[in-house]
């Protein structure tokens, strides 16, 4: 069985020392099978879900510029017939407006050449819709870390996404005895 842990770059050396001390080579219960770093700086962060968005540009561990906002996108309804179609059109229009607004904020906060890496999260389809905007083609080509398990974008979630985006991902496997 394997699992992935995220360790901040600042704590990595100490974490590796403690891991080695707890898993001495002969008879180790666990081993590190992979290590994935994301050494890009500055890094752009783009989070979008149907209820909100967050965009930021970070130098090191702090944001130099960011924008967090909410936009209402109606959820699904149990209505049938014409009402269901009308609500579906409304949802589609609201999602399109959300994507347009996020594209504009992203273009302002993450202009060409501002970031060397990109952390994305939220709703995959909405992230893809934002990155498909031709004005943001420079972001689509950047090295990317994806965090689609994040909750609705708020300031604290944006900060957490930056920490997780900069973290080193270490895959640990359990070693079977014998």
Q: What is 12-54 written as a DSSP string?
A: HHHHHHHHHHHS-STT-SEEEEEEE----SSEEEEEEETTEEE
Residue 5, strand partner residues: 170
Distance from C-alpha of 37 to C-alpha of 16, rounded to nearest angstrom = 14
Residue 62, strand partner residues: 59
Q: What's the pTM?
A: 0.85
Phi, psi for 143 (deg, rounded to 5): -60, 140
pLDDT in tens, the chain (178 residues): 899 999 998 999 999 999 999 988 887 889 999 999 999 999 999 999 988 999 999 999 999 999 999 865 545 555 555 555 555 555 556 678 889 999 999 999 999 999 999 999 999 999 999 999 999 999 999 999 999 999 999 999 999 999 999 999 999 999 876 5
- Report whether 31 contacts 175 (CB < 8 A): yes
User: Please, what are the domains in the chain?
Assistant: 38-165 (3.30.420.60)
Supply the DSSP symbol for 176: P
Q: How many CA atoms lie within 13 A of 107 on its CB side?
A: 13
Total residues found in the chain within this entry = 178
- Report whether 70 contacts 157 (CB < 8 A): no
Task: State whether the Cα torsion 66-127-47-91 is positive or negative.
Answer: positive
Distance from C-alpha of 171 to C-alpha of 98, rounded to nearest angstrom = 36
């Amino acid at each position: 069985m394997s699992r992935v842990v995220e360790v901040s770059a600042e704590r990595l050396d100490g974490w590796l020392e403690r891991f080695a001390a707890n898993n001495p080579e002969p008879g180790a219960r666990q081993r590190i099978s992979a290590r994935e770093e994301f050494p890009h700086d500055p890094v752009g962060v783009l989070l979008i879900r149907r209820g909100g968005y967050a965009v930021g540009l970070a130098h090191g561990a702090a944001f130099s510029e960011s924008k967090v906002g909410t936009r209402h996108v109606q959820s699904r309804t149990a209505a049938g017939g014409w009402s269901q179609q009308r609500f579906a059109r409304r949802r589609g229009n609201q999602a399109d407006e959300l994507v347009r607004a996020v594209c504009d904020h992203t273009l302002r906060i993450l202009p060409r050449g501002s970031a060397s890496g990109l952390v994305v999260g939220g709703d995959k389809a909405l992230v893809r819709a934002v990155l498909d905007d031709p004005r943001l083609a420079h972001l689509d080509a950047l090295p990317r870390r994806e965090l689609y398990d994040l909750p609705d974008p708020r300031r604290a979630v944006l900060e957490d996404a930056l920490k997780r985006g900069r973290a080193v991902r270490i895959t640990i496997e359990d070693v079977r005895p014998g």
